[in-house]
Amino acid sequence: MCFCFPSSTTVVTKQGVKRLDEIRPGDFILTLNKHQQQKWTKFYTWGHREKDLSADFLKITVVGGSEICISENHLLFVVDKENEHAKVAKMAGQLVIGDKLYHISSTRSVTMRSIVSIIPVQLSGAYAPFTMSGTFLGNNFLVACYASVNNFKLAHAVLAPLRFWTKSTVKKDAERPEGIHGYNLALMKMRESLPTSWQTMV
């Protein structure tokens, strides 16, 4: 099972830096666009949220000491080894020492930091915010909103109906019950019904 991010993970909002357990649907949080420029993206619902859950994560540390904790099946972005001007999404469990992650420095400039350490840790809370862009900066690292799928573009596409529904309704999502979002659960059941060879492709 994928637990995404611990509660201590921070994001930059228009109201300042907040932990994931402090943000609410409707908040705007910082991310990067396709040109690695900073922009705001709207956080619209939780893909997964369980505040008291104790879960396993990978603590990834880069040159300079910055770190992020993330579940092994969750996507984040690395510099493409064949084209340093491009980024690719990889599951955290597939990362290796030397991979370069996109990171925002204290001066808010975009840097590429090489991984120096990957160790398993157990932490409290499980949070997976969904944003309109499908990305956000967690602990100042560029990460995706999606897990358990190898293809970021595909994952973002299948969430389009949920994004449309959220934009079309005035219903507040802040009090949604804890756990995995019903839309996510439905997608997981559909994926499990596919042949095993197909599941590895999505």
Burial 184-194 (b: 16+ CB within 10 A, else e): beebeeeeeee
* The CATH number of the domain covering residues in 10-199: 2.170.16.10
Residue 108 CB neighbour total at 10 angstroms: 10
Digit-by-digit pLDDT tens for the chain (202 residues) are: 456 899 999 999 999 999 999 999 999 999 999 888 999 999 999 999 999 899 999 999 999 999 999 999 999 999 998 888 889 999 999 999 999 999 998 778 999 999 999 999 999 999 999 999 999 999 999 999 998 888 999 999 989 998 888 775 545 555 566 666 555 555 555 555 545 544 444 4
CB 23 within 8 A of CB 174: no
CA distance 77 to 50: 25
